[in-house]
Amino acid sequence: MGGAGILLLLLLAEAGAGVAWRPPKGKCPLSCSCSKDSALCEGSPDLPESFSPTLLSLSLVRTGVTQLKAGSFLRVPSLHLLLFTSNYFSVIEDDAFAGLSHLQYLFIEDNEIGSISKNALRGLRSLTHLSLANNHLETLPRFLFRGLETLTHVDLRGNQFQCDCRVLWLLQWMPTVNASVGAGACAGPAALAHMQLRHLDPKTFKCRAIELSWFQTVGESALGVESFSYQGEPHIILAQPFAGRCLILTWDYSLQRFRPEEELSAPSVVSCKPLVLGLRLFVLAARLWGGSQLWSRPSPGLRLAPTQALAPRRLLRPNDAELLWLDGQPCFVVADASKAGSTTLLCRDGPGFYPRQSLHAWHRDTDAEVLELDGRPHLLLASASQRPVLFHWSGGRFERRTDIPEAEDVYATRHFQASGDVFLCLTRYIGDSMVMRWDGSMFRLLQQLPSRGAHVFQPLLIARDQLAILGSDFAFSQVFHLDPDKGLLEPLQELGPPTLVAPRAFAHITVASRRFLFAACFKGPTQIYQVHELDLSA
């Protein structure tokens, strides 16, 4: 039964009880009909202060009321029933019904209300029946019904609800409340038009998103960036060739910023790869000239010091270094881009790391990627001279397994896993970068993304979100987000301002319950972004 019908029953009951209809002197506007406890008004009544403070029922029909401000009914605190029908106000402000602690019936029907403030119903602790039917509401603010523990009937039908993330809270609230709720149907979006709200599944709504915003700049340019944890504290290490060093950063809890902790002298460095073994910290510094080195810190409190020259006859022009574990032992693989050198596998033997295997000689490798397929270690090498080649670990060495079809001019490869599948991001400087998926025997093309001037296409798993960042020398770097239902990367946002100048690597780190993304740039400073989680249903 609508609010007007309930009001009519109440009035009839009063009439049947012999209540005489006579306006109290000076307490009933001319446009109203008043009884001892009730007022029914049409036209343009005075403000509520014109009514008796003992009034129990007030109905305003086609009146001149244009807005409901905070405290509009403080002078009629005894109201049990309040009805608005066919009025012209469009907004209900916070605390509009303040002071009406005895109100049980509130009917706001057939008006032009487009929005309600989130605290509009605050203080209505006796309310049992609420109707907002037949208005122009497209959504309701979260927590609108907070504190209304006595509700038994709610009518929301006849509104223009947009069934997007803004109504998710309502869908989650309806099954939990001890009240009969008439929610009505969706007016949009088009795919959900005319569908009843009670038939919508909250689990199908995707109302969580992330956003990256600039946080800090590290002045010098860098070719590489890696995150690692040492003694329970997260760290970042940057390969800074022009500054001639590997720079280790840590979080300053006082300043709430990243600050330098230690630097390693490494002229022409291209990669600084950390390895933590218990209390020991190793850093492989791959350098274009002067030979690659291994630095070591035996225990906390000591500084890193160079301890070994690494394969000086094989690593002539290293371009990338990766860490992997083989047969329970830590190893490094260093991709060499020279004609005379060779990509080399270095494994731990006693106090140092020594060559175990030369791979892919004469092919000028630009990148190495370590991954696991079919439960075995694999190595993928990208080269300037041929398609990427996949090796698998067998009999204590890497053996060629296959190459990647239709993948010419690939500069670098990176992989990620999602829903049990292995995906590959292939970076191309000219042409489209690609996403491929492993089918059990081969990587197959899944997606192509335009990427003029790209040197890095890097996937990153940040909390629950699988991202991939496509860096560009000529345009804004683009962040993509994996859609778990489609299995495809969808655009999320561009990085900047400030603009990334020739980005070469990305890494993320979590510290002090905050997540950060580092972007190492070859022709500009390293930029740090903070990752924010957004609730689109708020």
pLDDT digits (tens, 9 = 90+) for 306-320: 999 999 989 999 999
Q: Which residue has the tokens 């490798």?
A: 365
| CA distance linking residue 22 with residue 302, whole number of Å | 94
* pLDDT above 80 for 258: yes
| CA distance linking residue 389 with residue 392, whole number of Å | 10
**Looking at the domain assignment, is residue 527 inside a domain?**
no
| CA distance linking residue 461 with residue 478, whole number of Å | 16
Mean pLDDT (whole number) for 361-382? 93
Mean pLDDT (whole number) for 203-222? 94
Q: Which residue has the tokens 């291994």?
A: 294
CA dihedral 159, 163, 169, 170 (to 10 degrees): 30
167 with 159: CB under 8 angstroms?
A: no
Q: Is 261 exposed, middle or buried (0-12, 13-18, 19+ CB in 10 A)?
A: middle
Positive or negative torsion for Cα 54, 56, 57, 63? positive
* pLDDT above 60 for 45: no
**Looking at the domain assignment, is residue 336 inside a domain?**
no
Mean pLDDT (whole number) for 58-73? 87
**Looking at the domain assignment, is residue 52 inside a domain?**
yes
107 with 128: CB under 8 angstroms?
A: no
**455: nearest Cα among 255, 289, 319, 267:** 319
The DSSP symbol for 114 reads -
* pLDDT above 70 for 181: yes
pLDDT digits (tens, 9 = 90+) for 441-465: 999 999 999 988 999 999 999 999 9
Phi, psi angles (nearest 5°) of residue 495: -90, 125
| CA distance linking residue 424 with residue 418, whole number of Å | 11
126 with 102: CB under 8 angstroms?
A: yes
**Looking at the domain assignment, is residue 108 inside a domain?**
yes
Total structural domains in the chain? 1
Mean pLDDT (whole number) for 220-245? 97
Neighbours of 475 (CB within 10 A): 15
| CA distance linking residue 177 with residue 537, whole number of Å | 19
**Looking at the domain assignment, is residue 138 inside a domain?**
yes
**441: nearest Cα among 409, 404, 469, 415:** 404
| CA distance linking residue 402 with residue 311, whole number of Å | 27
* pLDDT above 80 for 367: yes
Residue 494's pLDDT is what? 95
Strand order across the 245-252 sheet: 224-230, 233-240, 245-252, 257-265
Q: What are the angstrom distances between the C-alpha of 49 and each of 52, 60, 75?
A: 8, 14, 5
| CA distance linking residue 324 with residue 345, whole number of Å | 10
Phi, psi angles (nearest 5°) of residue 16: -65, -25
* pLDDT above 90 for 222: yes
pLDDT range class, residue 88, cuts 50, 70, 90: confident
316-317-320 Cα angle (round to 5):
125
What ranges in 101-209 are assigned the alpha helix state H? 168-173
| CA distance linking residue 165 with residue 145, whole number of Å | 18
Question: For the chain, what's the residue count?
Answer: 538
**Looking at the domain assignment, is residue 187 inside a domain?**
yes
**239: nearest Cα among 318, 302, 330:** 318
| CA distance linking residue 397 with residue 239, whole number of Å | 29
188 with 509: CB under 8 angstroms?
A: no
Q: Which residue has the tokens 């109302």?
A: 207
* pLDDT above 60 for 393: yes
Cβ neighbours of residue 343 under 8 Å, at least 6 residues apart? 333, 334, 335, 336, 358, 359, 360, 361, 363, 365, 368, 381
* pLDDT above 60 for 172: yes
Mean pLDDT (whole number) for 202-221? 94
**519: nearest Cα among 529, 531, 530, 509:** 529
Average pLDDT of the residues of the chain: 91
Residue 3's pLDDT is what? 43
Alpha carbon of residue 84 to chain centroid: 42
Give the DSSP letter string of 269-334.
EEEEEEEEETTEEEEEEEESSS-EEEEEE-STTSPPEEEEEE-TTT-SSEEEEEEEEETTEEEEEE
Cβ neighbours of residue 31 under 8 Å, at least 6 residues apart? 41, 42, 43, 44, 45, 63
**Looking at the domain assignment, is residue 515 inside a domain?**
no
* pLDDT above 50 for 12: no
Range of the domain at 189: 32-205
Q: Which two tokens stand for residue 537?
A: 């249903």
**Looking at the domain assignment, is residue 498 inside a domain?**
no
- Select the highest-mean-pLDDT range: 6-20, 23-37, 481-495: 481-495
Element (H, E) at 14: helix 3-16
* pLDDT above 70 for 356: yes
The CATH number of the domain holding residue 104 is 3.80.10.10
| CA distance linking residue 17 with residue 19, whole number of Å | 6
| CA distance linking residue 433 with residue 520, whole number of Å | 20
